[in-house]
A and B are shown apart, each in its own frame.
Chain A
Amino acid sequence: AQKITQTQPGMFVQEKEAVTLDCTYDTSDPSYGLFWYKQPSSGEMIFLIYQGSYDQQNATEGRYSLNFQKARKSANLVISASQLGDSAMYFCAMRDGEYGNKLVFGAGTILRVKS
C-alpha cells in the first residue's frame, strides 16, 4: 500500500532563506508520481511541482525544486528565497501507476516565514 510520511509538523524560515520540507514514501509499484501541494489558510490546494519515478532529473518550477532520491524513497521540497507569502501548509502526495490514479497525501508540514 502507498504511504507518505512527512515528519516535520512545523517549520520556521527566515525571509529570503531557503528551506527544505521532508517527504518519504513507500510503494511497491515501479511507476509512480510524486507531488507537492501548497494549502494557504484560505483552503485551496495549489499544485507546486511534480516528479515522475522515471524522470532522470530533479523537477524544478521557479523557486521550487524537488530533491528526488529514489534509493532512499525521499522527495523533499526545496523552496529558495522564501517569501512571506510562502507561509502555508505543504502536502506531499503520490500516485501509483501511469496516469489517473488517486493521490495519497501525507499529514502536511506547516511553514511559517519570518520577516
Chain B
Amino acid sequence: EAGVAQSPRYKIIEKRQSVAFWCNPISGHATLYWYQQILGQGPKLLIQFQNNGVVDDSQLPKDRFSAERLKGVDSTLKIQPAKLEDSAVYLCASRLPRANEQFFGPGTRLTVL
C-alpha cells in the first residue's frame, strides 16, 4: 500500500513570494490533515478535511494561508505572501474513518529567506 505522498520535499523562497504544497493521501482515507512543524517543536494542526469539507481550520492564518481538497482526494496548501516565520516543515497526514492512527507523509521543508 502506498503511503502519503507530498511534494515538493524542499522549497526555498524569498519573503512575500507565494508557495504551494501538494498532498496525496492513502487511498480510501477520507480525513486529511495539514500540520506545521517549526524547528524544535511538535507539529501543530493547520487544517483538517473530511472528504472535501473543512472540519477544523481554527489555527490556519487565513490572511495568508489557504487550503483546498477538491474531489475529496488530493489537497493543496498555499501560502501567499510568505513570511520569515513560515519557515517550517509542512506535514500532511491521512486517516481512515473511525481509525485511531494518522499516517504522515515525508513533509515539505520550507525555507523563507
Contact = CB atoms under 8 A, between A and B. Distances in A.
Contacts of B14: none
B: interface residue count bin: 20 to 34
Contact of B107 (A4, A35, A43, A101): A43
B31 interface: yes
Contacts of A108: 41-42
A41 B31 CA distance: 26
B100 A33 contact: yes
Nearest to A100: B31
Contacts of A99: 97-100
A105 B102 contact: no
A92 to B, nearest CB: 8
B4 to A, nearest CB: 9
B21 interface: no
B104 A44 contact: yes
B95 A100 contact: yes
B106 interface: yes
Given A43-B89, A44-B106, A100-B50, A105 B44 contact: yes
A107 interface: yes
B42 to A, nearest CB: 3
B45 interface: yes
A33 B101 CA distance: 10
B97 A106 contact: no
Contacts of A52: 100
B101 A105 contact: no
Given A45-B43, A100-B55, 8 more contacts: A37-B104, A43-B89, A43-B107, A44-B105, A44-B107, A103-B43, A105-B43, A108-B41
